[in-house]
Amino acid sequence: MSIEAGSKLTGKVTGITNFGAFVELPEGSTGLVHISEVADKYVKDINEHLKVGDMVEVKVINVEKDGKIGLSIKKAKDRPVRSERPERGDRRPNSNSGRPRLNRSNDHRPKENFEAKMARFLKDSEDRLSSLKRHTESKRGGRGAKRG
């Protein structure tokens, strides 16, 4: 049986590094399970999940031309197929995904496009900066400060 991308195999963990685990596959070849492919959750220490001698089921992710084999433990697990995100019309009416609802009833400004918002932001920002500079320079006695 040749090792090709997409196939599921059982192998033995032969070595562990800080970036992954080496797994000996049938026919004597060895592949690497990167630390990001060990479990569905974040793996800080691979030693909490695997140890040398463990038998693991892996899925072949890729086989490089130079013979390197990329493996995944988390992709080898059979999971129930989850449906994709619901269509916009399929969402429950009272669901707000934990976000606060904005009250737009008091907002009587006409809708602005991006350029208008950016221009208003830049003007406000420049006004605030010039006011801050005037205030700071007068306290330090810098340029433009009144001396008495």
The residue among 72, 96, 127 that closes a domain is 72
Is the model's pLDDT at 135 over the cut of 60? Answer: yes
pLDDT tens profile 1-37 = 578 888 899 999 999 999 999 999 988 899 999 999 9
Within this chain, do residues 65 and 117 fall inside the same structural domain, yes or no? no
Share of the chain above pLDDT 90, in %: 41
Mean predicted lDDT score pLDDT of the chain: 80
Concatenated DSSP letters of 57-121: EEEEEEE-TTS-EEEESTTTS--PPPP-PPPGGGS-TT--TTPPPP--TT--SPPPPHHHHHHHH
What's the residue count for the chain? Answer: 148
Is the model's pLDDT at 58 over the cut of 90? Answer: yes
Cα separation, 108 vs 71, in Å, equals: 57
Cα separation, 23 vs 130, in Å, equals: 63
pLDDT of residue 87: 59
Is the model's pLDDT at 78 over the cut of 90? Answer: no
Whether 49 is covered by a domain: the verdict is yes
Cα separation, 53 vs 55, in Å, equals: 6
Whether 45 is covered by a domain: the verdict is yes
The residue among 19, 40, 72 that closes a domain is 72
Cα separation, 73 vs 84, in Å, equals: 23
Q: Which of 23-32, 70-79, 88-97 has the lowest mean pLDDT?
A: 88-97
Within this chain, do residues 66 and 121 fall inside the same structural domain, yes or no? no
Q: Which domain holds residue 51?
A: 8-72
Task: Kindly report the CATH number assigned to the domain that includes residue 28.
Answer: 2.40.50.140
pLDDT tens profile 100-121 = 655 555 555 667 788 888 889 9
- pLDDT-based confidence at 46, cuts 50/70/90? very high
Cα separation, 55 vs 34, in Å, equals: 16
The residue among 41, 72, 103 that closes a domain is 72
